[in-house]
Structure 1
């Protein structure tokens, strides 16, 4: 028996035989052609066949994983028609009389090398998307059949060098019990899709594809990032028991879906879900969510050739509000920039996009986009309990400008005779300046949602997607916890509620701390809702409050984390 350490990309335990998913190696030879028109026609036909395949994959992904995952393949389709890519390929065929597949290789390699050398892990992962599209076109030119994981018919754990986004979208979760890759990271599209399908995944193992043979028995531990190869019967029994226990615990908690989230000393809390599209709203309801704490609207804008119309947006927001049937829905206005781009806007490249033109900054600079979104939201407010929040607010003037536009558009719609509901107007707390000046904000803002993922990276100056500085991404750092406590205290003083919508809200070790701090709302992935609610019901806020000062006075994240682990262990929670 041996094991390999990788990166846990999608939680869960899988136990099955290994299936090596090996992609056909494309041998791209450089050839000089004599018939340029014929070569360009072949190239255009290959693009057409590739587009047909991608449309099928997109539709399959939409049905299995939701609209935001299908948008990945809308983006791939845009690559297929991108004149900045297609034009240079045709030029190489024409001017250098090169065969099409080699011309594709030369042009796409320029993009791939540039993205692969980026310091930003998200941008490095995008190189895989271009490589995926290029390989698909080249396969058609060479007459090679593209690998289709949907044809796998038995329970297996896929072992592969690299799971392309197209591969991931075609996984059948009924038979694909897990995924192990040599390369990739937590932010890859493949990991994103696997997580949405609840398929456990361990990525970045470096050697799994070489070390594991077809038919080897494998245990995949998606919590610790471990892959056990041909484990002992005792270890199999241990993992199988843990897997069944986890499933039983979730099943036994189903009764909580119709109950309130109340701690064992009688304090009320709210546990809501994070979504990126209309379909995911149903997952939140099914898992017992008490509302939507974060609707990421940028997915309505991605994977398309132009901005969505006001009517398109209105229909999407209306559908989510109606699905929640009176439960609150918090919608975040468009948050692009940083790791999210809209190719059709042709925004200028920035040296550091995470500190640049993103969030509310972008929307205040492109006011027509924000006004259209606000109008759609205000119109939809008549169909449910709507709250709107602005992202990436750094100074009070940004919130005031956003609020002024909101009020102007609301008044226009009322004058037009449009029915408008009561709408709360809040903001994200993601930047240290906001947390430090929270008293000023609390007098004017209706509610707050702390985005701990960004707050941690901006406070500790550590890119959360950069593995080289990942040791600095410390949710329990005293500076982070003091900022969170400061926000909660100041908001409560003004009678305003505070939520957390980052990873921390669903972290079982962090939940007792957040309960003791007085957090009002936990906004988590839909699969974590019921566990988070059950966890809170076991806790006593008064008991945790007694130890809070001592906990927050500890000097570093390690000691705080250890103290929280001990607290949970002693109480068996």
Structure 2
């Protein structure tokens, strides 16, 4: 072993100590030779048997996931089952078998790659990881077609540090958190499925460490998830010390879970709203279980991306209604379709652009295709009769866009009134602040909306001119950059001047290092991945507004993101708050 430490990206906080287990799978090799016409029927029959086997396996995995991780994680495999059974997938494979005279395996590989590549080419990490889901489904289907053993990690025993190039949903479903003390992947990041599941299972994780060929099974290792580093072959004394630290961290997490029912307010009584970001109706229940008091971002892209046809008004309405009912009157902020850029659709041909992130996307498509936009707005309005639904427009750059979107909204309201369909006449409408032009001129926008929600992922990218998924310049993506903090401050102050609230639904909302600064700047609502809620709530309950204002004011005098980050960490450590 030539390295003593691997450095990557924090995927899940905490410390884990154990022995290395490198997870490798037998490669799938598909014969690309053509088949005879007489073999077509047998290949189609083989595909149908493989689909049946795959569905049976996924149902078993779903039940295990429900037992070990809960309903939200089990729903992933319900979705996988629906995809496997989706006629657009199976019929596409059968068409290739019959028209191109290729084997079922070759046709499956081609069709899966077509589906997955659409997602994997996207820059948005959440959407790109859905491509990994499609790959996982294809992997399982191909292994069943070829008579290979399925993937899985249920056989692991002892206390291991699991090392892999990446992990699929099927892999993580078989993890035992009492066995796997830490997770390390050569690729991926904090939004990868492996990282999300690691946080759910409370397994410390470091992603994107690069080549893992030199790691040897049985070697002692320590995963420092919060710091994003892996210590290899530590001394016996170091290993024992980290093992003790890991035990204490796990006990601390159990204590945090008890906070779900505790109020999210500072020591001096200021209420801080903690909401969840979700992409499916099932995710909402999980977020509430961990203490979310609302949904700050409901992504609607999947409704448009999963089918060959645009979703109907009724299809959308049923999904939005389900989320609203699960929140029992608490806020559900539904973002209108945020497609384009890196999010291509099978159901809508979008133009190829030289610079799609500065092009035809999100609200720009909605205002161009008002027929699609109004259909979605009608569905959201109808769902508002069943709970605290709010509307949020993405990618707003000008006040003209807000006015134009609201004009379409008013048309939808008039139609529903004429049809006698109930909706909330006073539904609140807000915008995402993710383009610097809005943050700089927030005082001009505030009178035209009911709330702001800061999308820090894009705001940081556009402010710093940094593609956060570009590994060459990833270190330049700095949410705590002084210029970003100033834009956030300006946005919050503008909303407060007209008695509106400002929320945040970017990754920064779930970053413990940012919590005191954001409270000090006056942020009203934090919306984040469900697993981050207990940690952020602990910080909220341990601080006062005055302390946070002091931290924010001090941070605003600093000139670099590292200086601010180090300062925020030192403040939390001085207060005895574990990261």
Fold match by TM threshold 0.5: yes
TM-score by length of 1: 0.85
8 Å contact from structure 2 (residues 16, 181) kept in 1: yes
8 Å contact from structure 2 (residues 122, 342) kept in 1: no
- Write out aligned runs for 1:23-422 (5 A): 23-27=25-29, 36-41=36-41, 43-56=43-56, 59=59, 60=61, 63=66, 65=73, 67=75, 71=79, 81=89, 93=101, 139-140=143-144, 142-150=146-154, 156-171=160-175, 176-213=180-217, 215-229=218-232, 231-253=234-256, 256-421=259-424, 422=426
Partners in 2 of 1:551 and 1:36 — Cα distance?
71
Partners in 1 of 2:166 and 2:387 — Cα distance?
43
- Partner SS, residue 326 of structure 1: coil
- Partner SS, residue 566 of structure 2: helix
Partners in 2 of 1:212 and 1:343 — Cα distance?
44
The alignment's C-alpha RMSD in Å is 3.8
Partners in 2 of 1:299 and 1:293 — Cα distance?
17
What corresponds to 2:429 in structure 1?
425
Partners in 1 of 2:108 and 2:77 — Cα distance?
26
- Partner SS, residue 167 of structure 2: coil
What corresponds to 1:557 in structure 2?
561
Task: Give the stretch that moved more between structures: 464-473 or 47-56.
Answer: 47-56
Partners in 2 of 1:413 and 1:110 — Cα distance?
39
Partners in 2 of 1:428 and 1:304 — Cα distance?
26
- Partner SS, residue 473 of structure 2: helix
1:263-290 deviations in whole A, cap 9, x for unaligned?
2344332222222222222222222222
1:497-532 deviations in whole A, cap 9, x for unaligned?
001111211222211111111111111222222322
The offset of 1:397, in angstroms, is: 1.8
2:509 corresponds, among 502, 505, 509, to 505
1:537 corresponds, among 538, 541, 544, to 541
8 Å contact from structure 1 (residues 456, 475) kept in 2: yes
| CA shift in 2, pair 1:103/1:11, >3 Å | same
The offset of 1:260, in angstroms, is: 3.3
What corresponds to 2:495 in structure 1?
491
Partners in 2 of 1:126 and 1:381 — Cα distance?
28
TM-score by length of 2: 0.84
What corresponds to 1:10 in structure 2?
12
The offset of 1:76, in angstroms, is: 6.9
8 Å contact from structure 1 (residues 69, 193) kept in 2: no
The offset of 1:361, in angstroms, is: 1.9
Partners in 2 of 1:294 and 1:414 — Cα distance?
27
Unaligned runs of 5+ in 2: none
8 Å contact from structure 1 (residues 488, 517) kept in 2: yes
8 Å contact from structure 1 (residues 431, 458) kept in 2: yes
| CA shift in 2, pair 1:305/1:241, >3 Å | farther
Partners in 2 of 1:315 and 1:568 — Cα distance?
43
The offset of 1:432, in angstroms, is: 0.6
Partners in 2 of 1:189 and 1:296 — Cα distance?
17
The offset of 1:228, in angstroms, is: 3.7
The offset of 1:555, in angstroms, is: 2.5
1:157-186 deviations in whole A, cap 9, x for unaligned?
433344345434554556555433334444
Partners in 1 of 2:470 and 2:160 — Cα distance?
31
Task: Give the stretch that moved more between structures: 249-258 or 394-403.
Answer: 249-258
What corresponds to 2:456 in structure 1?
452
1:54-99 deviations in whole A, cap 9, x for unaligned?
54565545855154675467567779838888766766647xxxx7
Partners in 2 of 1:382 and 1:203 — Cα distance?
43
Partners in 1 of 2:123 and 2:547 — Cα distance?
44
- Partner SS, residue 474 of structure 1: coil
Partners in 1 of 2:9 and 2:539 — Cα distance?
26
2:438 corresponds, among 417, 434, 437, to 434
What corresponds to 2:476 in structure 1?
472
The offset of 1:553, in angstroms, is: 3.4
1:424-455 deviations in whole A, cap 9, x for unaligned?
11111011111122112101100010011110
8 Å contact from structure 2 (residues 123, 469) kept in 1: no
1:175-212 deviations in whole A, cap 9, x for unaligned?
55543333444444444454455444333333435412
1:117-163 deviations in whole A, cap 9, x for unaligned?
99998898788667656655654554433333356577644333443
- Partner SS, residue 512 of structure 2: coil
| CA shift in 2, pair 1:13/1:40, >3 Å | farther
8 Å contact from structure 1 (residues 71, 303) kept in 2: no
8 Å contact from structure 2 (residues 221, 231) kept in 1: yes
Task: Give the stretch that moved more between structures: 538-547 or 64-73.
Answer: 64-73
Task: Give the stretch that moved more between structures: 370-379 or 254-263.
Answer: 254-263
8 Å contact from structure 2 (residues 516, 552) kept in 1: no
| CA shift in 2, pair 1:309/1:57, >3 Å | farther
8 Å contact from structure 1 (residues 4, 226) kept in 2: yes
8 Å contact from structure 2 (residues 83, 89) kept in 1: no
